[in-house]
């Protein structure tokens, strides 16, 4: 069957307002967020119901047509971008955007996969609850994409990764069968927990159509501290003190270098110099609670007083209003955009045993600089859960193509160090196309074999997101 015959079959089954085949209609769906990858497709399918997703997948499986599930396209590994095969079908969940229920007794929210994360967070807030998953792309990414990448974000220290927020999943398997796992039970020990396989599968095992999520009491009181630190080691010691004294009130513990602050001040609007002088590193921590602002502020004062006394930080600024809190967060949130404005660069989303971060940072920088003395590291991340964005920009004066030309060699050094320190080459962004080779080379052979067996079980014809992950 030719691709146009197959597209025609899809249109007959789903309708011309669901299946798009004109080149101009398809074009916007072929590139990833960073513009690193561009693929091809014969059609873009935008279903409104789970049954339509099932029809689409059943037809694709019969004809052996590859399907690329697509959420908000904010993924940073090219996972939602089709490869170069003209037969690809992009399956977008953007029209499946209904909230099915919010339950403030069970503390659950059930939503379709195409709901934008930021909207779900607002829905929870209107019900006086909190959906803690929060990331800089939250007003574009979709909950189906978040679950498929097991997204992390800034609140992992307290609430865990997306996996820990998911109670149930509805999904369509490549065969067109519907997986009815949309349960909201907190306790359910009835055999293998199959939904866990779909979480973080990057669209290679099934298409998620709806999810049931845990909600939490809303933190009405929030406070942010920006602490200047001498080194990652000092950030680590400060983390221990804050953990001891603040317990579950610690919601975020972020780290960035002084170079990141320079970059943000150079490229972002409305950002202010945090202290009278530049420091080597900064920790941004947020404490939150459901009530009692005075108690939270008193706690903060005590902790930061102790931190300064024990020389666990060099300086500290505490937010005293929502505007200040947002201004301090902006320093951290603008780093990615500022680096993008600075030009093409190399991203490494890695995690390490937290106590190894200082040694890793020293050793990785030494090795990278031996090869590229003038490289510009911009290192930041979710320090509290061991996740660093180890990003490297081209040496001053080097051509824009530098990152593309030297990328593999630099990344080999960084990921070699990650392995040496017992870390992971992908903390929260996933594998996609970007890290597939490194993943296949570094993963334990037994784990890889089991993953391939699971893939065959769910997707015997291999139609779902080929060339991604495995």
Residues in the site for ligand FAD, rule: CB under 6 A?
Answer: 33, 68-76, 79-80, 93, 113, 135-137, 141-142, 144-146, 148-149, 151-153, 202-203, 207-208, 336, 428-429, 432, 465, 468
Tell me the CA distances in angstroms from 142 to 105, 117, 145, 263, one per residue in order.
25, 5, 5, 29
User: Of the candidates 47, 51, 53, 61, which has an alpha carbon nearest to the alpha carbon of residue 19?
Assistant: 47
**Residue 144 or 384: which CB sits closer to ligand FAD?**
144
Taking the complex as a whole, the smallest distance from the CB of residue 198 to ligand FAD amounts, in Å, to 7
Q: Give Cβ neighbours of residue 446 (< 8 Å, ≥ 6 apart).
A: none
- What stretch of H or E contains 130? strand 129-130
Nearer to ligand FAD, 40 or 297 (CB): 40
CA–CA gap between residue 49 and residue 131 (Å, rounded): 24
Within a 10 A sphere around the Cβ of 422, how many other Cβ atoms?
Answer: 11
Compute the least distance from the CB of residue 187 to ligand FAD, in Å.
26
In angstroms, give the least distance from the CB of 4 to ligand FAD.
25
Residue number closest to ligand FAD, CB atom: 145
Q: How far is the CB of 268 from ligand FAD (least distance, A)?
A: 13
What are 48's strand-pairing partners? none
Report the residue number, 141 or 299, with the smaller CB distance to ligand FAD: 141
Cβ proximity to ligand FAD, 152 vs 281, nearer residue: 152
Nearer to ligand FAD, 152 or 423 (CB): 152
Q: How far is the CB of 314 from ligand FAD (least distance, A)?
A: 27
Shortest Cβ 373–ligand FAD spacing (Å)? 30
User: Which string of b and e fits 69-88 if b means at least 16 CB within 10 Å?
Assistant: bbbbbbbbbbbbbbbebebb
Contacts (Cβ under 8 Å, ≥6 apart) of 90:
26, 29, 30, 41, 43, 44, 45, 67, 68, 70, 82
Min dist CB 132 to ligand FAD, Å, is 13
For ligand FAD, give the closer residue by CB, 80 or 364: 80
- Alpha-carbon span 215 to 208, nearest angstrom: 20
Nearer to ligand FAD by C-beta: 112 or 237?
Answer: 112
Q: How far apart are CA 420 and CA 399, in angstroms?
A: 31
Question: Smallest distance, Å, CB 78 to ligand FAD?
Answer: 8
Alpha-carbon span 462 to 451, nearest angstrom? 13
Show Cβ contacts of residue 192 under 8 Å, excluding neighbours closer than 6 positions: none
- What is the SS3 assignment for 91? strand
Nearer to ligand FAD by C-beta: 137 or 316? 137
């Amino acid at each position: 069957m030719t691709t146009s015959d197959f597209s025609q079959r899809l249109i007959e089954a789903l309708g011309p307002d669901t299946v798009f085949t004109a080149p101009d209609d398809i074009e916007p769906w072929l590139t990833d967020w960073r513009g690193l990858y561009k693929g091809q497709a014969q059609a873009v399918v935008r279903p409104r119901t789970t049954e339509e997703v099932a029809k689409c997948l059943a037809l694709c499986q019969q004809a052996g047509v590859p399907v690329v599930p697509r959420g908000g396209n904010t993924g940073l590994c090219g996972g939602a971008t089709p490869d170069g095969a003209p037969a690809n079908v992009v399956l977008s969940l953007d029209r499946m955007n209904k909230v099915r229920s919010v339950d403030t007794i069970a503390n659950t929210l059930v939503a379709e996969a195409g709901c934008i994360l930021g909207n779900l967070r607002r829905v929870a807030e209107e019900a006086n609850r909190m959906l803690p998953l929060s990331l800089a792309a939250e007003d574009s990414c979709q909950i189906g994409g978040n679950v498929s990448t097991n997204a992390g974000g800034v609140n992992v220290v307290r609430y865990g990764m997306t996996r820990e927020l998911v109670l149930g999943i509805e999904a369509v398997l490549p065969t067109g069968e519907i997986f009815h796992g949309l349960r909201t039970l907190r306790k359910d020990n009835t055999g293998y927990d199959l939904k866990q396989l779909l979480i973080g599968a990057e669209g290679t095992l099934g298409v998620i159509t709806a999810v049931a999520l845990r909600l939490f009491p809303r933190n009405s009181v929030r406070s942010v501290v920006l602490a200047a630190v001498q080194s990652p080691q000092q950030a680590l010691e400060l983390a221990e003190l804050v953990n001891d004294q603040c317990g579950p009130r610690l919601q975020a513990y972020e780290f960035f270098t002084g170079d990141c602050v320079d970059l943000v001040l150079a490229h972002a609007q409305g950002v202010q110099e945090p202290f009278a002088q530049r420091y080597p590193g900064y920790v941004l921590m947020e404490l939150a609670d459901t009530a009692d602002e005075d108690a939270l502020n008193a706690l903060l004062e005590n902790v930061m007083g102790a931190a300064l006394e024990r020389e666990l930080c060099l300086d500290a600024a505490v937010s005293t209003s929502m505007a200040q809190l947002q201004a301090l967060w902006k320093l951290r949130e603008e780093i990615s955009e500022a680096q993008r404005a600075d030009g093409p660069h190399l991203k490494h989303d890695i995690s390490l045993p937290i106590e190894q971060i200082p040694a890793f940072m020293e050793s990785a920088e030494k090795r990278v600089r031996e090869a590229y003395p003038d490289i510009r590291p911009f290192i930041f991340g979710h320090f509290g859960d061991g996740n660093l964005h180890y990003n490297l920009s081209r040496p001053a004066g080097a051509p824009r193509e530098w990152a593309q030309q030297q990328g593999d060699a630099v990344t080999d050094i960084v990921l070699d160090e990650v392995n040496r320190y017992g870390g992971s080459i992908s903390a929260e962004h996933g594998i996609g196309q970007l890290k597939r080779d490194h993943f296949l080379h570094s993963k334990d052979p037994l784990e890889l074999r089991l993953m391939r067996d699971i893939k065959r079980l769910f997707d015997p014809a291999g139609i779902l997101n080929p060339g991604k992950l495995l």
